[in-house]
Amino acid sequence: MPVDRKHLGRRYGPYRFQVSVEQIKDFVAATGGGVPGHAFPSPPDRFHHPWTWDEEAAKASPHGGIVAPPTFATTFAIEPFARACSDPELAVNVLRLVHGEQEFEFHEPVRPGDVLETEGEITRLQERGNLDFVEVTTTTRNQHGRVVVKGVWTAIVRN
């Protein structure tokens, strides 16, 4: 069953997320060929940008400290999309769902200590053949009220 078009415009959030330097370093290790955590960690390899994990290098950078890698946004901005996909009102069969498309628009770097709030809205519900597209657009603001990232998340459901 395709998702009922009446849910277009349905909103999720805001969801709050407090950023720590440990979360950023864990994310960088996991995506950069290292090992996250504090028990048996290993740092990311040399292909990962040092300003996202090396405190000394970051301190000497124009940012004056660590900034999150852009796709760290996944950790906090995914929530409205995840909530929509598991929303009983939409009745999406998650076993038939894949993440089909992704877009991010970055406005301002995320830093340790930031307090972020993400809101999302269903912006497209479209049937194409036996596929159903569910698109959620998210906006994340920081503690200064400024937009840090916008995301467009598209799930494809096989009917």
Partner 1 sequence: MKRLQDFTAGDTFELVREVDPYRPVYYAGASGDFNPIHIDPEVGRAAGYHGVILQGMCTFSWLSDACVGYLDDPARLVRVRARFTKPVQVGDVIRIEGRCVAVEGSAVKLELSARNQRGEDVLKSAVAEGRVEER
Interacting residue ranges for partner 1, rule: CB under 8 A: 23, 26-27, 29-33, 35-37, 47-49, 51-52, 61-63, 67-71, 74-75, 78, 95, 98-107, 109, 152
Rounded to the nearest whole angstrom, what is the least distance from the CB of residue 47 to partner 1 in the complex? 6
Please report how close the Cβ of residue 112 comes to partner 1 at its closest, in angstroms.
14
3-state percent helix, strand, coil for the chain, nearest multiple of 5 = 25, 35, 40
Q: Which is nearer to partner 1, 4 or 123 (CB)?
A: 123
Q: Are 38 and 23 in contact (CB under 8 A)?
A: no
List the one residue out of 67, 78, 62, 70 whose CA is nearest residue 105. 70
Distance CA 100, CA 156 (A): 6
Rounded to whole angstroms, the Cα distance separating 124 from 136 reads 7
Shortest CB 96 distance to partner 1, Å? 10
Task: Pick the closer one to partner 1 by CB: 105 or 127.
Answer: 105
Nearer to partner 1 (CB atom), residue 37 or residue 113: 37
In this structure, the number of other CB atoms found within 10 A of the CB of residue 44 comes to: 23
The whole-angstrom separation of Cα 112 and Cα 19 is 5
Nearer to partner 1, 74 or 123 (CB): 74
Give the shortest CB-123-to-partner 1 separation in angstroms. Answer: 15
